[in-house]
Amino acid sequence: MSKKDSRQGVVIRPLLLVMTMMVIAAMPQAYAAGDVAAGQRVFKICAECHQVGPSARAGFGPQLNGIVGRRAASTKDYRYSTAMQNSHLVWTEDKLRSFLKGPSDLVPGTKMRLWGLSNEEDVSNLLAYLRSFS
């Protein structure tokens, strides 16, 4: 490697680092923290079948307390579909996000009757609300 090549590397590497940082900073946050109050409003869609809070119990769907990090089909007071029982999922935020966007895409045969949430902000807000019951 010549001296010229060596000097170019010294200049180019920091420049690439700065440019990469600028691109990352300009990207919208895909996994925004979300707004709990706004998530509570979104949860009204879910509340037809699901409950959260100290007195939550299963209804048409399982209760959702502590859903983040919980193994799918693991609550004892709800009868899950065979598909959900065989999914072997752990509800990470990424998996929940995918499920909320298209339940049957992630778990074909699920009993979940939601078509999916298409608004990314609604999903982030709902996840923030659900995290508040961990």
CATH number, position 56:
1.10.760.10
pTM, two decimal places: 0.75
Question: How many domains would you assign to the chain?
Answer: 2
d(CA 28, CA 49): 32
Report the pLDDT value the prediction gives residue 25, as an integer from 0 to 100. 43
Please tell me whether residues 10 and 26 are part of one structural domain: yes
Q: How far is CA 28 from CA 4, 24, 31, 110, 121, in A?
A: 38, 9, 9, 31, 11
- Which domain range does residue 22 map to? 1-30
Q: Which residues contact 80 (CB under 8 A, 6 or more apart)?
A: 62, 72, 73, 111
d(CA 131, CA 2): 56
Please tell me whether residues 16 and 54 are part of one structural domain: no
Quick check: 28 pLDDT over 70?
no
d(CA 132, CA 68): 10
Please tell me whether residues 20 and 38 are part of one structural domain: no
Quick check: 31 pLDDT over 80?
no
Report the pLDDT value the prediction gives residue 2, as an integer from 0 to 100. 59
